[in-house]
Structure 1
């Protein structure tokens, strides 16, 4: 009878250790926080929509329409002069031009490819040729590339009051 009792105790101990390990793993995953650098107004990461969903909103908007929004996207490009604007990837070759409310803050110039959460107003805009050329110059485009800009462009735009940069 002793070997059976010993076997039962061993099984219970092994099972007990296995459950504690699983609980610890779940707890670690739940308490893991993503670190962000904050720019502009303080915002939280909760409730941000994906860039793909934001693109669907933009497609239904008309020139002059605007909506309050918070979205997560990847940075394509940043103003290399001051960090005063950035473009974000919206999927399928589409992007959104982000400026910062009242030029109240700027972004680091080396964040292309990083993930951000932007909070503010999304709108559809028509950007005049001179402004498009200014952005091309800020982005470090060649004079030939800048000279090829000859027509205004309908763009997806965003005025951010706060940005979180994923670390």
Structure 2
């Protein structure tokens, strides 16, 4: 039984220490997740309007936007510039991750969007993943209604 505990601990530690963003280039044409094309991509503003018309329903979207931040721990989420603040993009089912060098790049993302309430604990988790200071994290005291997207694929422009 003791050997089993040691093996389990070793496996957990190995997985935990290897959980980091991929160290790959994000040059024009690079894709992450499913292969997508830029056809029929809309602006962030148009996507927001489309999602808000659906009033809480999940909506398929293909958006052209600029990456403002990437999860520094694993590359499991990113944000894109939006007129109402940054919009959070998660990688569908954690099926793929993106590199930190994606920050500042223009991308096309294909996924499912929905408007929902993000809890204080989740917002603080995102802030910690983004490398924010303890003071910035503790300043988050209210849940936030926002549009989030579960991305199936990302294409770098």
Which residue does the alignment assign to 1:53? 46
RMSD: 1.6
Corresponding position of 1:22: none
TM-score normalised to the size of structure 2? 0.77
- Whichever of the two has the greater Rg, that structure is 1
Moved over 6 A (4+): none
Task: Work out the CA distance in 1 between the residues paired with 2:109 and 2:142.
Answer: 29
Structure with a larger share of its residues in helix: 1
CA contact (8 A) 1:75 1:115 kept: yes
- CA offsets per residue over residues 36-74 of structure 1, 9 Å max, x none? 101111111111112221132244343x32111111000
C-alpha distance in 1 between matches for 2:63 and 2:89: 12
What's the CA shift for 1:106? Answer: 0.5
Report whether the alignment pairs 1:156 with 2:157: no
Aligned to 2:97: 106
The 1-side partners of 2:30 and 2:135 are apart by: 37
The equivalent residue for 1:74 is: 66
**Structure 1: which 5+ runs fail to align?**
1-33
Is 2:113–2:147's contact at 8 Å kept on the other side of the alignment? yes
Shift of 1:82: 1.1
C-alpha displacement of 1:150: 1.3
Structure 2, unaligned runs of 5 or more: 1-26
Counterpart CA distance in 2 for 1:68 and 1:145 is 33
Aligned length: 131
Secondary structure at the aligned position of 1:107 is classed as coil
The TM-score, its normalising length taken from structure 1, stands at: 0.73
CA distance in 2, matches of 1:101, 1:93: 23
Find the residue that maps to 2:39 and give its secondary structure.
coil
